[in-house]
């Protein structure tokens, strides 16, 4: 996969074509950073993810659906949110990445919100999105953390396939409708070159 550069939010990188050489022929994805102008598509994907997978995310659909657009615009501004799909400018998956601003923790980044629509799953799209983020922040960030629901086998396998390792288990991390969900805490220590 090519080593991409992720543009600033003011000048989002142009669409990047990523060829995944898997199986016979491989797959081609189009990935790019989503900007404020992509509010509608980002908001639709995010709300769909929260609605259809309530156990997979820390935010509930009910609280997100009532938020003003400015909150989603702010997410697009202050996070690196990569969208991807099989056709240019058609986004069926996204992954978020953020670095906290505080001095003592800004050597660490966080991957969040990873989602691929059911019709595009198992083609390597989520993996390509996360690998692209990893490649883009290599050299500036020392580790990337994320959390995944303890019963979410597909997502845990996805992260393991990218080199993430578990470093802890947060018991009762999420509470939804009186039910608790444990979360596996995972980390990828970045190459130091």
Ligand X SMILES: CC(C)(COP(=O)(O)OP(=O)(O)OC[C@H]1O[C@@H](n2cnc3c(N)ncnc32)[C@H](O)[C@@H]1OP(=O)(O)O)[C@@H](O)C(=O)NCCC(=O)NCCS
Residues that bind ligand X (CB under 6 A): 49, 53, 56, 93, 114-116, 121-127, 148, 152, 154-155, 157-158, 161
**Residue that the structure tokens 């259809």 belong to:** 52
With respect to ligand X, which residue has the nearer C-beta, 85 or 99?
85
- Compute φ and ψ for 20, nearest 5 degrees: -100, 115
Minimum distance between the CB of residue 67 and ligand X, rounded to whole angstroms? 20
With respect to ligand X, which residue has the nearer C-beta, 8 or 22?
22
With respect to ligand X, which residue has the nearer C-beta, 2 or 68?
2
Minimum distance between the CB of residue 188 and ligand X, rounded to whole angstroms? 14
With respect to ligand X, which residue has the nearer C-beta, 53 or 108?
53
**Residue that the structure tokens 């601003």 belong to:** 101
Minimum distance between the CB of residue 8 and ligand X, rounded to whole angstroms? 26
From residue 71, give the alpha-carbon distance in Å to each of 54, 66, 76, 78, 188.
Answer: 20, 10, 9, 11, 29
Q: Which residues contact 30 (CB under 8 A, 6 or more apart)?
A: 15, 16, 17, 18, 84, 85, 86, 87, 88, 89, 90
Minimum distance between the CB of residue 103 and ligand X, rounded to whole angstroms? 28
Q: How far is CA 6 from the centre of its chain?
A: 14
């Amino acid at each position: 996969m090519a080593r991409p550069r992720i543009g600033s939010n003011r000048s989002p990188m142009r669409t990047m074509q990523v060829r995944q050489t898997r199986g016979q022929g491989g797959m081609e994805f189009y990935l790019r950073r989503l900007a404020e102008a992509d509010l509608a598509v980002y908001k639709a994907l995010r709300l769909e993810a929260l609605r259809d997978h309530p156990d997979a995310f820390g935010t509930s659909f009910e609280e997100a659906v009532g938020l003003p657009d400015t909150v989603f615009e702010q997410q697009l501004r202050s996070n690196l949110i990569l969208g991807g799909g099989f056709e240019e400018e058609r986004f069926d998956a996204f992954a978020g990445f953020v670095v906290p601003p505080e001095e003592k923790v800004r050597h660490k980044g966080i991957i969040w919100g990873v989602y691929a629509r059911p019709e595009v799953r198992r083609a390597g799209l989520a993996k390509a999105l996360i690998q692209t983020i990893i490649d883009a922040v290599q050299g500036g960030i020392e580790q990337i953390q994320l959390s995944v629901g303890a019963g979410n086998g597909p997502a845990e396998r996805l992260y393991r396939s990218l080199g993430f390792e578990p470093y802890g288990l947060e018991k009762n991390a999420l509470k939804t409708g009186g039910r608790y969900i444990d979360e596996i805490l995972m980390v990828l220590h970045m190459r130091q070159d």
